[in-house]
Structure 1
Amino acid sequence: MKKWLVFIVMSAMLVLAACGDDDGTLDEIVLADADWNSIKVHNAIMQNIMEHGYGFETDTLGGSTANTVQGLRDGDINVYSEVWTDNIREVYEEAIELEEIIEVSVNFDDNDQGLYVPTYVIEGDEERGIDPLAPELETVQDLKDYPEVFQDPEDSEMGQIINGPSGWAVNETIVEKAEYYGLNEMFNIMSPGSDSAAVSSLASAYEDGEPWVGYYWSPTWVTASYDLTLLEDEPYDEETWQETRGTEFPPNDVTVAVHEDFPEQAPDVYEFLNNYETSTALTEEALVYILDNDAEPEEAAVWWMEEHEDLWTEWVPEDVAESVKAELDI
């Protein structure tokens, strides 16, 4: 019995040691990676500052939106650099109300999301010899008139709408929206296995000048690089949205949030995160850099910090900024 007690105590001590020191500070800051490029870029920017400016070890923990948000609530994740709050509003507000997480800043709030089509589908493209295939297409509801334009390659009697990946919170929203508008009766809603699979389907269609309709959002290198049109929807109304999803997406503050213990565990970093603020345009610069240079998000983060030294150095004290610049050779 004593041996078991010793084993349990030692195991608990190991767990505590992995989480932090006895004084409540952290040995390592863990950031959420929900597997899209913009969150990877923002993570890398934060990690550069946390490591080279404040001396912390850092890591990321990957998973679906639901899993990473739960990880933040449980304390397995310390920082979430890009929380799309209205995609998980109920869970997010509950976690804040229970004081499991703290919203520290708005990363950006000038973003769009919804169903997009290549603009040439509506307007054509004379230079590429593409005629408009859906000239009256303006709204999500108008898709009912064009299922044959967006034909499912595996089901000729149905159109196809590309959804967000199945692990993303928005996936269920698109399904509900399609059901409310009756689009599910004439369109198959295809859930790709990953963001890269969704982008691959768009890129292939775009290169060939073929029709495509699917969910996407900004800021992304996709919306910055391709000429896409966001289909209109009914003006946002909170009650209607909650009941049917039959409006445009709600305004979506994309926030930086931390676990409840983080302000005490890393107070200086917490103060830095309170100042973290970018925009869709600024984020898309890094995403386009990834595309144009076949770069990793971590490389794009360093490039972005070189380009916007005047911005991020305002988030931190001068000595911290100098340490980061010296380490990154900026």
Structure 2
Amino acid sequence: MTRSRRLLAALLPVAGIAAFAQPALAANPECRVVRMSDPGWTDITSTNAVFGNLLAGLGYERQVESIAVSITFQALKNGDIDVFLGNWMPSQTTFIEPLTAEGAIEVIAPNLQGIRFTLAVPDHVSEAGVTDFADLADHAEEFESTIYGIEPGAPANRHIQRMIDTGDFGLGDWTLVESSEQGMLSQVDRAERRDEWVVFLAWEPHPMNMKYDITYLSGGDEYFGPNYGSATVNTVTRTGYVEECPNIGKLLEQLQFTVEMENEIMAMILDEGMEPMDAAAAWLEQHPEVLEPWLQGVTTIDGAEGLPAVKAHLGLG
């Protein structure tokens, strides 16, 4: 073997390693566009927008489909979307358990923890004696035997309907009104302004917790879980996505939100009328310290260091 051939043979393994180490996009151009779901909840709109700003800084694109939770999980299973940042647990257990059992979707990591998700009433109602699920039936007339939920098909609505169907807490003749998040909150707003009674589905993070004086009801553990429906929100993907797009996968694994962060971004959207991407960018500009742990080891689509690129995109220098 000549010297040149020996040198070529020695370099080939190195070249192979270098090629393998290139960003996932080099092998799979489909990673450039990240397909996501938004079920119409402002908290997920907000986190999607935060993620979208990060993706834009890294040179990726985001495609968001506005679809209900039940359809979202089927779309993940079918490979029609890649990422969902809104897997609320345990309320979505009935949706996700069969899919994880058959390996149809993957749970990547929690992105928000220690939150509440259950029924609530305005403070003037709790001050009148309604603090527990068991107190509702005694005031059926004031509530017009009605519970306000969110969009049709949402898991939380199913819990409420099951409670009504079983007649638990004496609510067998009550009605669940399924509406949009904003439709439900319009009822809360009217009740606050008119000193009327309303019981509705409430959760944090959400600016409703800052805008309205509300009390979360105890006693709904069987339907919403203990500690006022204490919940964890997970990031989930279609099966195989992290292996196909490991750079985005690493970002998803490291992406962590807080209640305060989401409350503030959501308030910008709902109360100030800002576009979600603009609201998320404004929050990130004010809190650049969150970027480093999220972007550790994450690169741009071309393989450059991710943190400086995202900072430049946000105008942080």
TM-score range, shorter chain: 0.7 to 0.9
Report what 1:30 is aligned to.
Answer: 35
Which consecutive residues of structure 1, in runs of 5 or more, have no partner in the other structure? 1-19, 124-134, 152-158
**What amino acid sits opposite 2:287 in the alignment?**
H
Separation in structure 2 between the aligned mates of residue 137 and residue 323 of structure 1, nearest angstrom: 52
Separation in structure 1 between the aligned mates of residue 185 and residue 308 of structure 2, nearest angstrom: 38
Separation in structure 1 between the aligned mates of residue 279 and residue 170 of structure 2, nearest angstrom: 39
Separation in structure 2 between the aligned mates of residue 164 and residue 94 of structure 1, nearest angstrom: 24
Separation in structure 2 between the aligned mates of residue 186 and residue 149 of structure 1, nearest angstrom: 14
Deviations along 1:99-127, one digit per CA (max 9) or x if unpaired, are 2222221111111111111001232xxxx
Report what 1:63 is aligned to.
Answer: 67
CA pair 101-185 structure 1, distance change in 2 beyond 3 A: closer
Which consecutive residues of structure 2, in runs of 5 or more, have no partner in the other structure? 1-23, 298-304
**What amino acid sits opposite 1:114 in the alignment?**
T
CA shift at 1:232, angstroms? 0.8
Return the TM-score normalized by structure 1.
0.79
CA pair 186-91 structure 1, distance change in 2 beyond 3 A: closer
2:52 to 44, 47, 51: 47
Give 3-state SS (helix, strand or coil) of 2:175's partner.
strand
- 1:138 is the counterpart of 2:124: no
CA shift at 1:21, angstroms? 8.2
Report what 1:191 is aligned to.
Answer: 178
1:167 to 137, 143, 153: 153
Return the TM-score normalized by structure 2.
0.82
Contact 1:85 1:92 (C-alpha < 8 Å) held by counterparts: no
Aligned residues: 283
Report what 2:124 is aligned to.
Answer: 120
Give 3-state SS (helix, strand or coil) of 2:141's partner.
coil
Deviations along 1:155-198, one digit per CA (max 9) or x if unpaired, are xxxx2211222131211110112333254444322222x11111
- 1:80 is the counterpart of 2:78: no
Give 3-state SS (helix, strand or coil) of 2:280's partner.
helix
- 1:287 is the counterpart of 2:274: no
Report what 1:127 is aligned to.
Answer: none
Report what 1:148 is aligned to.
Answer: 141
Deviations along 1:256-306, one digit per CA (max 9) or x if unpaired, are 111122113221111111111112222112112223422122222112211
Cα RMSD (Å) of the superposition?
A: 2.2
Contact 2:147 2:177 (C-alpha < 8 Å) held by counterparts: yes
Separation in structure 2 between the aligned mates of residue 271 and residue 301 of structure 1, nearest angstrom: 21
**What amino acid sits opposite 1:118 in the alignment?**
P
CA pair 272-21 structure 1, distance change in 2 beyond 3 A: closer
Give 3-state SS (helix, strand or coil) of 1:103's partner.
strand
Once the two structures are aligned, what percentage of the paired residues are identical?
23
Separation in structure 1 between the aligned mates of residue 27 and residue 307 of structure 2, nearest angstrom: 27
Separation in structure 1 between the aligned mates of residue 224 and residue 93 of structure 2, nearest angstrom: 17
Separation in structure 2 between the aligned mates of residue 184 and residue 268 of structure 1, nearest angstrom: 50
Give 3-state SS (helix, strand or coil) of 2:274's partner.
coil
Comparing 23-32 with 276-285, greater Cα deviation is found at 23-32
Give 3-state SS (helix, strand or coil) of 1:233's partner.
coil
